[in-house]
Amino acid sequence: MSHAATPTELEAYRKQGFFVRPGVLREAELVELRAAVERIHQCINREAERGLAPIEWIDGRRYQDLLGSTVKWEWAEGSREIRSMEPVHHLDSALDALIDDPRLWQAARDLIGAEAVSLFTDKLNFKRPQGAPFPWHQDAPYWAFGCDHLDRLASLQLYLDDASAGNGCLWMIPGSHLHGALPQAEDRGVLGKLYTDVEQLDGSAPLPIEAPAGSLIYFHGDVVHGSRRNRSPHSRRALVFTYQPAGLPQWRLDGPRPISAAAR
């Protein structure tokens, strides 16, 4: 069965900078993936407790390199909850196998316009109850140092839980990718440079991407996106995979991560 991007999806990606495929993964698969990400969370907590890795403070926020991943802790003082971490697939075989799933990469391949793709990078967002908002930003400027093929990347976010405006779903500003790299917020410290100054952005109103668990949101590296606080009593977990043409090295881990031959 083909999972190629349809003409309608390609058009939405070109005009809006994103499109949604609702409910692609089944509940049984999501149960396994949620268990995998919670195992990873526990491993990271155990590693942090060994006290070997220094904590880095940036703009008053805590970061730590643990088990080959950069971990952003939830901003609340002393929290042991992970806000997000990257890369992550090297820590669990279920996540590693997902990279090869044609339901994910085939459409990304079409968006990139490559014959074959490999993984560029991946990220895991936990967004626990009361988890902090993620300010408006574009991903491409974040990768700009160290990547010379920003125009050949395509990302997808996989919701592991039902996502709504109330639990901090992703928000997109449709068409914002058409402006290329936008002015960055000047007044928000070191990381402010990675946040987009949306005050200067004319165009469409932001759109909440409310969708059931198992949905995929494909999005362009220049589309402005973010998320709000999770005001629900449950986690809103999500994985983000970014694909690139085959043969190129990963962003954070050594060497290329090709799609397994069996999946092609």
Ligand X SMILES: O=C(O)CCC(=O)C(=O)O
Enumerate binding residues for ligand X (CB under 6 A): 84, 123, 125, 127, 134, 139, 170, 225, 227, 238, 240
Nearer to ligand X, 125 or 250 (CB): 125
- Please give the helix or strand (H or E) that residue 16 lies within, else none: helix 7-16
For the bound state, the minimum distance from the C-beta of residue 261 to ligand X, rounded and expressed in Å, comes to: 30
Nearest approach, Cβ of residue 209 and ligand X (Å)? 10
- Residue number, 179 or 236, with CB nearest to ligand X: 236
Q: Using CB atoms, what's the residue nearest to ligand X? A: 227
Q: Kind of pairing, strands 55-58 and 61-66? A: antiparallel
Residue with tokens 């690139």: 244
Q: Which is nearer to ligand X, 102 or 135 (CB)?
A: 135
CB-CB contact of 41 with 68 (8 Å): no
Tell me which long-range contacts 206-210 makes (C-beta under 8 A, separation of at least 24).
206/171, 206/172, 206/173, 207/171, 207/172, 207/173, 207/174, 208/164, 208/165, 208/169, 208/170, 208/171, 209/18, 209/20, 209/163, 209/169, 209/170, 209/171, 209/172, 210/163, 210/164, 210/165, 210/169
Closest to ligand X by CB, 253 or 263:
253
Which residue number, 76 or 246, has a Cβ lying nearer to ligand X?
Answer: 76
Q: Which is nearer to ligand X, 123 or 220 (CB)?
A: 123
Report, in Å, the least distance between residue 66 CB and ligand X: 18
Query: Could you tell me which residues come within 8 angstroms of residue 94 by beta carbon, excluding any fewer than 6 positions away?
Result: 32, 33, 36
Nearest-approach distance from CB 83 to ligand X, in angstroms: 9
Nearest approach, Cβ of residue 179 and ligand X (Å): 18
User: Least distance (Å) from ligand X to the CB of residue 93?
Assistant: 23
